[in-house]
Amino acid sequence: MANKKVLPLTDTEIKNAKPKEKKYTLSDGNGLQLLIKPDGKKIWEIRYTIDGKQKATTGGTYPAVSLAKARTKRDDIKSKVHSGIDPIQEKKEIKAIIQEKVMEEQTALATQFHLITYEWLATLKSAEITATKRKRAFERDIFPHLCTYDENHKIISSKQISEITHGELLKIITEKGKATPETANRLFVDCNRLWTYAVSHDYLDVNITHKIDKSTVPRGEKINLAKITDEKILGELIRAIDDYKGDGGIIIPNLLRFVSLLPLRADNLCKLKWENVNFEKAIITIPRSEMKVKNKNLSDFVMPLPHQAIAILKELQPITGWGQWVFHGLKNINSHVNNESGNKALRIMGFIDEASGRKQTLHSFRGTFRSLSETYATEHNVSFEVRERCLDHHEKKEAVRAYIHKADYTEQMRTLFQWWADYLDKVKDIKK
């Protein structure tokens, strides 16, 4: 029996087609048919055969896709099938390509250099002042070469970290090195850490800093920081601290007296808390996490207090003991004193001339203590190891450190610090 000839559909017929209890189709011929669903939706279906397999794809819904447009779609599909192209497979491949492109674009946005840098910086556990300096160094010396800014100098975008070459990075570092070699060297070290982080987090495959010959990276000469070691000048400094009447009232002179006795790092000094002080045991204890060397295998830093340091703390207790900080801020008493406040006072006192051996900063007191305690080692008879531990310096060799990291030098340090405090009392009376 011959196949019944399919008559083409008309718009009127399609409009008048009503939904039934079950879905049904109206055929337009040559593979095009309209599926009418029980909910009234009318969907175009296009059937075709390729490689001996019958397949069907949708051509949109009616009336959004008119009868004329549906026929055009059918003809396009038939044409592709005639050329050996499977329209369904082609659609899948196009969709996959689009998805891949979207993912690539999202990855490109997420792996912009400035974003990875900020992400890495946020993971570092370092003192606030160190973190700020490191962030500023990247923003000042590297970002301008790799970032795009708006008119307000805010970053719009930056190069993908995976697209930065070692030659490009070396050029940036070398250019910085012409003015400040030491800064350039620190930048290179930080870039190595940044790229190591990026590789470990699968943002790229290669740490490009490993392709840079370290001998080509600018290095500044190692310069010992200025410090006062002449006893007469040191005596003058101590007397000037006692007589200081500048900003800060009692806070600043006591800050300077305290650091002259106990050579803490500036950050630990300014952030010293009352909870760190134990008057009964005459010690201060600073958690290892707040020290420069944060190795968890090392004990918290314990520093014995000579009686002169205890006297300073007793003088401050009625004034700042109500709060958290031993040395509270000059303008904001709810914050710790700023590192620069002590340095400013030293400059006001005139201790700024390095050439004549009269320059001193908060950090310099460490060098003063270390140099003179070395000079007079036969007087106090305290070992080199103890002198180093007073500054929280530790053995760099891990194998050696494993044996000595639990050694308790507290009482030997107490001997040295009391000798040092008594020595400064004598020095204060030395006049030209």
What pLDDT digit, counting tens, does each position of 242-258 carry? 999 877 788 999 999 99
Burial of 229 per CB tally in 10 Å (0-12, 13-18, 19+)? middle
Where residue 3 falls among pLDDT bands split at 50, 70, 90?
low
- Residue 385: closest CA among 368, 367, 369, 408: 408
- Residue 195: closest CA among 161, 237, 158, 218: 161
Output the DSSP codes for 122-154: HH----HHHHHHHHHHHHHHTHHHHEEE-TTS-
Specify whether the CB–CB gap between 247 and 256 falls below 8 A: no
Q: What is the mean pLDDT of residues 104-126?
A: 78
Q: What is the mean pLDDT of residues 312-328?
A: 93
- DSSP-based helix, strand, coil % in the chain, nearest 5: 50, 15, 35
Q: What is the mean pLDDT of residues 29-49?
A: 89
The pLDDT of residue 425 is: 93
Q: Facing residues of 24 across strands?
A: 36
What is each CA distance from 266 to 282, 302, 325, in whole angstroms? Answer: 21, 16, 14
Among 94-98, 162-166, 337-341, which is the least confidently predicted range?
A: 94-98
Q: Each residue of 136-195: pLDDT tens digit?
A: 989 999 999 998 888 888 888 888 888 899 999 999 999 888 888 888 888 999 999 999
Q: How many CB atoms lie within 10 A of CB 11?
A: 12
- Residue 32: closest CA among 64, 1, 78: 78
Specify whether the CB–CB gap between 353 and 360 falls below 8 A: no
Q: What is the helix (H) or strand (E) element at residue 55, kind and residue range?
A: strand 53-62
The pLDDT of residue 402 is: 42
Task: Inform me whether the pLDDT recorded for 122 exceeds 50.
Answer: yes
Q: Is 198 helix (H, G, I), strand (E, B) or coil?
A: helix
Q: Each residue of 414-424: pLDDT tens digit?
A: 999 999 999 99
What domains, with CATH codes, occur in the chain?
11-85 (3.30.160.390), 111-216 (1.10.150.130), 231-427 (1.10.443.10)
Token output for 303: 């520093």
Biggest alpha carbon distance in the chain? 131
Query: What is the average pLDDT score of the chain?
Result: 85
Where residue 398 falls among pLDDT bands split at 50, 70, 90?
low
- Residue 56: closest CA among 27, 82, 87, 14: 87
Token output for 339: 């590192």
- Residue 314's Cβ-side half-sphere holds a number of Cα atoms within 13 Å equal to 10
Q: Is 428 helix (H, G, I), strand (E, B) or coil?
A: coil
State the amino acid at position 57 in one-letter form.
Answer: T
Output the DSSP codes for 9-30: P-HHHHHHPPP-SS-EEEEEET
The pLDDT of residue 242 is: 92
Q: Facing residues of 157 across strands?
A: 148
Token output for 98: 């689009």
Q: What is the mean pLDDT of residues 365-376?
A: 91
Q: Each residue of 258-312: pLDDT tens digit?
A: 999 999 998 999 999 999 999 999 999 999 888 888 877 788 999 999 999 999 9
The pLDDT of residue 310 is: 95
